[in-house]
Amino acid sequence: MEYSPVRQYVSPDKVRSLLPPFFKASYAQHDCTELARNLLDLIEVDAKKRDQPAQYNLTQKWFEGKTVKETICQTCNTKTERSENFVDLSVNFGKENNLEAMIVDSLADEVLNDEDNLFFCDTCDCKVPSAVRAHRVVSSPHYLLVTLNRFYYDKASQSMSKIMTNVDVPLRLEVPSAYKLKSVVIHAGKSAGYGHYYAAGVEQGKWRLFNDFKVSDIASPKPQESMNIDQPQLDFADQ
């Protein structure tokens, strides 16, 4: 069923003019997560120029969360903590192709014992053979952005490739706060170098597909079932 509301279109030209130069190439493929991060960064930079920066910093108010990385040296048992702010959670593909499970895996403890990622312990004053790092979300943002890392560098072909695995995206997430899925950005295409982005989102209580100028209803209660072989890349949810 076609949905044809009476509305004016919004030209992206002004927003595009504010982006870094590499975003302005007419036919270049750009990552939607990279675009989102740049836009949120621009909002934060603009807020700092104002008399009351906290009032205008919508990125910090609505999108910013905080994680703590706790690392324990397995040689001397010294514990170190480092906090980091984030505007999106980036998750990798693993054994389970379910978004909530992927988020849990991305926050799971990791053992740092490979030569390429050994931990430098200040107490031991050297890189230690093994350390355990735990990740905790200590402050959840109001709006949660989750990025599925579909694009990766393939050493064999020496080029960027795309993971085509389908992922189950539930309508509710616990990370650790409760979130409701509001929209999904989808990348159509089998290549990391080209393709087409469109979105599915909730409008007036209904899920709809937004594909350039075309807006259509989604019959299924799960928007993912209307995407055919296309895969979600960026998910947006609120508390």
Say whether both 68 and 147 belong to one domain.
Answer: yes
Say whether both 204 and 174 belong to one domain.
Answer: yes
Whether residue 116 is contained in a domain is answered as: yes
Buried b (16+ CB within 10 A) or exposed e, 135-162: eebeeebebbbbbbebbeeeeeeeeebb
Tokens, residue 156: 């064999």
Q: How open is the CA angle 25-28-34, to the nearest 5 degrees?
A: 95
Region 50-77: what's the mean pLDDT?
92
Whether residue 2 is contained in a domain is answered as: no
The residue with greater pLDDT, 64 or 2, is 64
Say whether both 53 and 82 belong to one domain.
Answer: no
Q: Are 28 and 10 in contact (CB under 8 A)?
A: no
pLDDT at 80: 95
Domain holding 207, by residue range, is 64-238
State the chain's mean pLDDT as an integer: 85
Say whether both 55 and 75 belong to one domain.
Answer: no
Rounded Cα distance between 229 and 226, Å, is 9
Say whether both 77 and 40 belong to one domain.
Answer: no
pLDDT at 226: 54
Least confident of 107-121, 141-155, 176-190, 212-226: 212-226
Please count the structural domains in the chain: 2
Say whether both 155 and 130 belong to one domain.
Answer: yes
> How far is CA 174 from each of CA 81, 104, 219, rounded to the nearest angstrom?
24, 9, 26
Residues with Cβ within 8 Å of residue 216, at least 6 apart in sequence: 1, 2, 3, 208, 209
pLDDT at 191: 79
Distance of CA 88 to the CA centre of its chain: 4
Q: Are 32 and 148 in contact (CB under 8 A)?
A: no
- What's the pLDDT tens digit per position in 93-144? 888 888 889 998 989 999 999 988 899 999 999 999 999 999 999 999 999 9
pLDDT classification of 176: cutoffs 50, 70, 90: confident
Extract the runs of DSSP E, i.e. beta strands, from the chain.
65-73, 79-86, 89-91, 110-112, 120-121, 126-127, 131-139, 143-148, 151-154, 159-162, 172-174, 178-188, 196-203, 206-211, 214-217, 231-238
The residue with greater pLDDT, 82 or 97, is 82
